[in-house]
Structure formats: structure tokens, C-alpha cells
Amino acid sequence: MVLSGASGWRLREAPLFNRAQSASFWGMQQRSVQNCLDFDFVCSRREPSVVAIAAITTRSTTGATTRSSFLSTSKCLTQCANIPDASVMVNFASLRSAYDSTLEALQFPQIRVIAIIAEGIPENLSRRLALRAAEKSVTRHRAGHCPAPWPYVSRSGGMSNELNNIIALECRRRVLEGVAIGGDRDIPDSTFLDHLLRYQADPGAQMLVVLGEVGRSRGIGALPTPCADGRITKPMVAWCIGTCAGLLGSEVQFGHAGACANSGQETASAKNAALAAAGAHVPASFDQLGETIRASTKIWSAAASLLPKEEPAPPTVPMDYSWARELGLIRKPQLVHDVNLRLSAARSCCTPGVPITEIINRDFGIGGRITAPRSQALTTPSLCARAGKDLIRRRSATAPPKQFSHGVDTGLIPMEFVNEMRKRVELIMGIGHRVKSINNPDMRVEILKKFALENFPASPMLHYALEVEKITTSKKPNLILNVDGMIGVAYADEFIEIGALNGMFVLGRSMGFIGHYLDQRRLKQGLYRHPWDDISYVMPEQSQWAPW
């Protein structure tokens, strides 16, 4: 979704991107940062395009923190601070917090472009963002850049990836600039025409590509007029998705909020016909879009007497360790040896030779079945054993999850509870897992949940936590109710105040700690030393410590 100034002058006066620009990310999205740095490496960009990450963290870690990403094979540390030179911000906030974070970003005058990833922002909030962006002359959208004569405008961010693929692979061309204006409902933001007029005035843009969709007369349906009256004179290849709707008996709502034809002029077939009549190159189907772009390119290149430039071979991007290990290309000796608990090939916990789910289903009692197993990935007991420390110094109890009780007792609905925790900058204890997700659930939680729902006379805390889980997993699939949270909400109704939950966790976790501790001693494991290549050194600036 793209927002520009009220008159559009700021949006049309110059290209939005250049090779010297840098961006900041809102949200701890290290994988996306790494993808950007890999793209910088392939494009032979000397300086990283991502220079900062701004994220709301817990109070214990609030402030400037450091996250490690890689540019080629050398490390590039992304400092979480306000960088004055970053004129682009990519906002990965969820739809619940995208509005507030965007308003905060608009306060910084150096930010010219804001790319919002979230969809489903309420229309009234989107209108307010449009107004504030118009006052600040800031563009809000989703886009990418690479020097070449082909710019494009798309409604869908997902389909923009397809356009990149078609132009780069099938047509052997590069993309000058790609903008996806967003698929939410029609609000007074920037349109296809805003960007096409900007491309018309840009001498670097030689041919235009437009990919629209059914519905929204203010979108691609408004392009035939400027093509006919001469405002757009550059060759343009255009296609409107949704022609299959004519084969159906009634109107169909497609993927985006406004992708539905409410009149004959809003159908994809009518828009394609109008564009063709106005002089645009319109293929017979989406499958022929690449062929149409390729044919138009040949005609334009011949008329302009241009020869295709020889493309240099892109450098090879180093493969991530986790991906190479999954493909079986590398191997690494294990630093910790243990037989108490392991992960199977399907990443489910197994005791020696027996899946943990089978152990859970046996009649060992709730405490022994659920809390005794302790993953070796949490290696603190093993490290203490290998360092010669006694077991008593390692044992710790899990604090009772009182947050859900606070939400229920104060009458907060789950959405209000989640928003309150976000405003207080506090984690929701009992929510989140490093390995498991809604697509790969923790069987311990599933068995406990089934037991509680079938045997407890009432479980209001559990139902409340499950509603909170629905909200958190809509943001990230791994923000599930974990086993600690499940046990906590099951016991919270009666035992939270007297400390029974703490006692149960001390007993159950101590059983797991004992197993790991004895294994390390029995296997005669030496003092643990962490690999040097896995340590990132963060040094202060020379001016902070140098005596000269």
C-alpha cells in the first residue's frame, strides 16, 4: 500500500530508491535482514542496505542491542539504534501495532519511504496514516530496486515477486523499480497512476509494466484515460488478473479485500479491453505476459537502436550453515554427549529408543509424565557438571504464570490482554516455543490440554489462554501455549497463591537435571569450551577508549 503527499509532488519528483540509500527494519526479522544483505552481495553493493533494527523488547533488554548478520563471509553487526542516514523503513509490525509504529516513524524527518508488511489494518487507521503521510510527504509501500529500464507497479506484494521472476528470467531484463501498492480495501492512498506518472518523468524508465486485479475502479481501471490523453507515452505492458471470474455464475471475492467486481467496468476483462484500446500491450492471458514483455522489448530496442548489455556473472552467495546441514553437505562433531533425551529425525523428543509421546501416554502420573523430560538443548546442567559444579547450584523453579490470572480477574478480553502486555513491553509468559509451532504442536501440551478439558470440572484459565494463543499465533506460528504455560493455567485456579506450582516444577525439572548431570559424569565429559567461530566480538568505537 502506497501513500504520498496530497498533491503527489514528492512522490513524482524523483526515484524513490538509489544505490546509496539505507534502510531500517521495525521488528526483529533477522532472516529478512540476511536476505537483504545477500542481495547486496549479489549486486556488489559495498555498504549494507540495512543499517538498523528497531524492535520492542522486554524491559530487561530495552535499549540498543546487537544482532549479527552476514555480508558475504564477514560479519556485519546491525546496531539497534536511530540511524540518521536511513531514509527507508520496512515495518514488520503486526496489524495490531503497525499503525502506532508507523506514526512513530513519521516523526523522523529523514524517513522518505515506509514499507508496511501487515495487511488487514482497519480502514479508518489507514486513512489517518494516509493523511499524516501526506503532511510529511512520506511514501508508504512495498518495493524493491535494481538498475534497469523496466519499472513495474503491482497491486499484490506476492505477485510482485512473480513479476520480478518474469522480467528477470523469461525476458532477460532487470527491474528498475518494483512497487506493490497493497491489496487492502480502496482508501485515498497513492495509485497506479501516481507511480506511472513518476516513471513517465524518469529518464531511466523506458518501458512500463502494470499488473492489476479485478475490482477497484480507482486502480488500474483509471489508466486508459492518461494513456489516451498523452500523459503516459512510454510503451506499457498491462494485465488485469481475474478474467476467470466471467466463467463463474456469480461474483467471487478473490484474495484481497477489494478484489471483487461490483459493476461491469470493474471486471478484469473490461479493464483489459479498455487498456488495449488505449494503446497498452495487453496479452491474451497471464501465461503470455512474459512473451508480450519480451516482444515489446525487442520492438523498443530496435527502434532505439540499443544493444543488450552483457550481464556480469553474479557472485556465489555463501550457504547458511543450517541449510547446508539439512541438505547433508556438511557435518559437525557434537560438543555435548547425552543419552537422557534426544531429538528424532522428525524433531520429536525421544528417550533411549522410545518416543516421548509413548512415555507420556503411560500411567506415570501427571508430574512425572510432563515435567521430568528436559531437552539437552538447554545445556546448563550439563555445563555445570562438566565444570565440576554440584547439582544443587543449578536447580531453579519456574515462576507461577500470574499474567493470565490478572487478565481473567480484571475482565480483560484476550485481545485487550495482549495489547496491554505489548504496551507494558512485557513478554506473555507461557507463550512461545523455539522449535514447536501451531503446525508442529508439542504433544505434551496436546495431551495435557485433552486431560484438562475432559476431567476438570471447569477450566476458565485454560480457555482464556487458548484464546490468547489464537491471537499470538496469528502473528507468528511459534507463539503457541507451551508446556510451562499449559501446566500453569491448569493449576492457576487453585494453587497459584500457595506455591504448589513452584514445588511441582522444582521436583519435575530436578528429575530432568539429575539425568543430564549423571550422564555427563558417567560419560567422563571434559570442561566445555564454546567454539571460537561461534563468538561475535562487539568492540566499542576507537574514540571511546583510545587515549589519543
Catalytic member of 141, 256, 433, 516: 256
Most confident of 192-206, 262-276, 282-296: 282-296
Q: How confident is the model at residue 430 (pLDDT cuts 50, 70, 90)?
A: confident
- How many angstroms separate the Cα of 269 from the Cα of each of 210, 211, 237, 238, 355? 15, 13, 15, 12, 57
Average of pLDDT values for 540-548? Answer: 49
Per cent of the chain over pLDDT 70 is 61
Q: Which residues contact 420 (CB under 8 A, 6 or more apart)?
A: 407, 412
Q: How confident is the model at residue 366 (pLDDT cuts 50, 70, 90)?
A: low
The pLDDT of residue 541 is above 70: no
Average of pLDDT values for 458-475? Answer: 90
Q: Is 294 helix (H, G, I), strand (E, B) or coil?
A: helix
Place of cell 543488450: 308
Least confident residue range of 68-72, 229-233, 447-451: 68-72
Average of pLDDT values for 510-524? Answer: 79
CB 352 within 8 A of CB 341: no
pLDDT in tens, 77-91: 444 445 667 788 888
Most confident of 105-119, 120-134, 303-317, 471-485: 471-485
pLDDT: is 252 or 121 the higher one? 121
Active site (annotated) includes residue 256: yes
Average of pLDDT values for 487-514? Answer: 68
pLDDT in tens, 330-365: 887 766 665 555 444 444 555 555 666 666 666 655
pLDDT: is 303 or 326 the higher one? 326
Helix-helix angle 414-423:460-473, to 10 degrees = 60
The pLDDT of residue 444 is above 70: yes
pLDDT in tens, 145-198: 444 577 888 877 778 888 888 887 766 667 888 888 775 555 545 678 888 888
Q: Output the nine-digit C-alpha cell for 253.
A: 471475492
The whole-number pLDDT of residue 307 equals 56
Q: How confident is the model at residue 479 (pLDDT cuts 50, 70, 90)?
A: very high
Beta strands in 61-107 (DSSP E): 66-71, 74-79, 86-91
The pLDDT of residue 302 is above 80: no
DSSP annotation of 266 reads: G
The whole-number pLDDT of residue 469 equals 94
Helix-helix angle 443-455:483-495, to 10 degrees = 30
The pLDDT of residue 243 is above 80: no
Q: Which residues contact 464 (CB under 8 A, 6 or more apart)?
A: 404, 407, 408, 414, 489
Which pTM does this prediction carry? 0.65
Q: Output the nine-digit C-alpha cell for 368.
A: 512425572
192-225 as b/e: b if 16+ CB within 10 A: bbbbbbbbbebeebbbbbbbbbbbbeebbbebbe
The whole-number pLDDT of residue 415 equals 92
The pLDDT of residue 143 is above 50: no
The whole-number pLDDT of residue 485 equals 85
Handedness of CA 383, 389, 393, 395 (dihedral sign): positive
pLDDT: is 393 or 175 the higher one? 175
Q: Output the nine-digit C-alpha cell for 392.
A: 544443587
Spatial separation of the C-alpha atoms in residues 539 and 542, rounded to whole Å: 9
Torsion region of 63: left, alpha or beta (phi above 0 gives left; psi -120 to 50 gives alpha) = left
pLDDT: is 373 or 51 the higher one? 51
The pLDDT of residue 413 is above 90: yes
What are the structural domains, with CATH classification, of the chain?
Answer: 1-140 (3.40.50.720), 142-306 (3.40.50.261), 342-522 (no CATH)
The whole-number pLDDT of residue 71 equals 57
Average pLDDT, the chain: 72
pLDDT: is 264 or 266 the higher one? 266
The pLDDT of residue 62 is above 50: no
The whole-number pLDDT of residue 471 equals 92
Q: Among 79, 101, 81, which residue's Cα sits nearest to residue 91? A: 101
